[in-house]
Structure 1
Amino acid sequence: MRSSRADSVQLKGSVRPAGRQESRGRLRRAYSRAAIAVSAGVLAIGGVVAAAPAAADPLPVPPTFFAGIPYELANPGGSLPGVNDWDCVPGAEHPNPVILVHGTGGGAQTNWGAMAPRIKNAGYCVYALTYGVNPGTPWPLSAMGGLTRMQDSAQELSVFVDKVLAASGAQQVDLVGHSQGTLMPNYYVKFLGGAPKVDKYVSLAPLWKGTTAGGASEFTAKLDEAAKTNPAARQYADLMNKYCGACSQMSAGSPFIEKMNAGGTYAAGVEYTNIMTRYDELVVPWTAGYVEAPNATNLVVQDTCAQDYSDHLAIAASVRSQAMVLNALDPAHPVPVPCVFVPPFLG
């Protein structure tokens, strides 16, 4: 296993009638209050208490993966506080804007309620997009991204990166992805000319080699074979590809996975950091994200803290993951990675 600077730090310590608008507003506020109440209850059951933000932190950093859901309920299709500020000018200390790339079924708000404020508080210009939404879907389905083919999503990311660079005046961006958001951007980097525009590429629960979770690979292979001669199977496969074109692409051994790894997983000139958990229930095996290369650092959260029970969701939110991401973005100014209990599911 390749040692890393981040590892050493861990060891150190159309205008509508007013009445309808008001009614919709009341409904959204009610949903928001309910979501907050449920989140609070879940946290209490899990024994996790969100600490008040430090005086130096302008944004609260709740320690749960689900912290972004109330924001989406209150402001559908919006942005988390401090995120997508198109007037943000990167400082000399952190010249690269950070773009957050969600996973399958996630969105710009729902995936990053914990991670986004931590990175923003560290002094970065932070951006996030919801990509891969099936065309014509209304809210709340429009909040579920990562469903279209990853080649198409990569095109969306390409446009977004250029928008961020133009607004910020920066030369490069850093990417922080989760789940599919670790794999799809590499198509942009390797095949759509993104490599010169990306400096650091940080992956939470990566699946470079694809996943076999739920027998996905075997099922996809059998369905593809049956579809060659069975009209019903062909229709089912077409429906799957229409509504979740990315799903079968993530299966181990899929043509997409094979293409992404042909000639080497990584793009030259980009610095990759993979942050993995042995308790990942969706990336199976979890080592599918462990690929060695001179420009890659592999971190397994349990290697430096046995109390870290992060699963596929929790790894995108925990205080330990937050610190590891900050150290991957700025290894010259590391922060301590605390060894604390991290519950699965919540973070």
Structure 2
Amino acid sequence: MSHRPVRPAPRSRLIRRWATATVSAVTALALGFPGTSVAADGPTPPGAATASAPEAFLRGTLQPDASPPGANDWKCRPTAAHPRPVVLLHATLTNAHMNWSMLSPLLKEAGYCVFAPNYGGRPGVPFKATRHIPDSAREIARYVDRVLDATGARQVDLVGHSQGGGVLPRWYLRFEGGTNPAKPSRNKVRRLIGLAPSNHGATLSGLGTLTTELGLNPTVSLVAGQAYADQMVGSEVNTTLDRGGDTQPGVDYTVIATRYDEAVTPYRNQFLKAGPRAKVRNITLQDICPQDLSEHISIAYDSNALQIVLNALDPAHARSVHCRLSAPLIGG
């Protein structure tokens, strides 16, 4: 896989790019976004890619059950070049449209069948993925089975952000039928790619440590949802997962982390250790693109990180990452 960094651009050029991205995002937010509501299960055109996290956040708030562009075409059939559908799993307190309006159309245009469920929340509520993680994992198990039945594929690849790339899919793989350790060839999942995944718990830059030590996680979860407590360092969910090792046989894992993560902290908590018959690649974004300033939110709208995702999905045709400036909260 090729991840060669390019020579950093001059500082003045980086500043201009960042300023342009910021002005564009602010202008977009000020003007608003016309559009009609899209059914949760219906496909949307692949060409309407969203360039920044703030734009996607606003659209996803106004249309919380909409599919991201390019996703949820239930008539899609995988090709020989891309035989596995890609299932995108969003982060806590987001939804599919908020999280995947940049990656989903990129994957669709690259020839993948793309599916992006809204999980762990009620229809019409923008902020989903808040339920108890084992409950959400069962929801994802049913969804993956539906994708396999509809497409005729034997396996899927999972790409997730935060909860969606960490404890949620790991729980599904281990406890809800995503893998068959005795016969890995029968696994329903071939690859798991996590963007800033909550693999071993979070401290929220110390806030989570404080609520844990004060015994406030149940109280916070009344507002933020049980998934908050489930993802704190030392939670029962994390302890149960870690007791059995990080990986499942036959699954290829990729972790993409940023040093500037402010949620899943310390960021090395995201990394996995390969167990028997599993492969793990732990990647720190700044080791490839030193000027990349993405943090936990904007990594899903970071073109550098998303090229690494594309490379992980199809390593035989990996492309060099031509590093661009990616700003906090905005991406690029």
TM over 0.5: yes
140, 143, 160: which one aligns with 1:177 = 160
CA contact (8 A) 1:67 1:114 kept: no
CA contact (8 A) 2:46 2:70 kept: no
- Provide, for residues 177-198 of structure 1, a one-character-per-residue CA deviation record: whole Å limited to 9, x for no partner: 0001112111010111102100
The answer to whether residue 174 in structure 2 is matched with residue 186 in structure 1 is: no
Q: Select between 334-343 and 119-128 the one with higher mean Cα deviation.
A: 334-343
216, 222, 240: which one aligns with 2:214 = 222
112, 126, 137: which one aligns with 1:143 = 126
Structure 1 residue 342 displacement after superposition: 1.1
Cα 1:281/1:122, change in 2 over 3 Å: same
The residue aligned with 2:238 is: 257
The residue aligned with 1:102 is: 90
Q: Give the TM-score taking structure 1 as reference length.
A: 0.77
Q: Distance in 1 between matches of 2:329 and 2:63?
A: 24
289, 292, 298: which one aligns with 1:308 = 292
Structure 1 residue 123 displacement after superposition: 0.7
Q: Give the TM-score taking structure 2 as reference length.
A: 0.81
Specify every segment of 5 or more residues in structure 1 that has no aligned partner in the other structure, as ranges. 14-37, 46-56, 225-235
Structure 1 residue 239 displacement after superposition: 7.4
Cα 1:243/1:308, change in 2 over 3 Å: closer
Cα 1:289/1:237, change in 2 over 3 Å: closer
CA contact (8 A) 1:79 1:109 kept: yes
The residue aligned with 2:113 is: 125
| Cα RMSD after superposing both structures | 2.5
DSSP-derived class of the 2:100 partner: coil
Matches within 5 A, 1:271-310: 271-293=252-274, 295-310=279-294
Q: Distance in 2 between matches of 1:239 and 1:247?
A: 8
The residue aligned with 1:23 is: none
Q: Distance in 2 between matches of 1:85 and 1:67?
A: 23
Cα 1:76/1:218, change in 2 over 3 Å: closer
Cα 1:314/1:186, change in 2 over 3 Å: same
The answer to whether residue 205 in structure 2 is matched with residue 209 in structure 1 is: no
Structure 1 residue 9 displacement after superposition: 3.4
Cα 1:334/1:41, change in 2 over 3 Å: closer
DSSP-derived class of the 1:296 partner: strand
Cα 1:245/1:73, change in 2 over 3 Å: closer
Specify every segment of 5 or more residues in structure 2 that has no aligned partner in the other structure, as ranges. 8-21, 30-44, 180-186
Structure 1 residue 291 displacement after superposition: 2.2
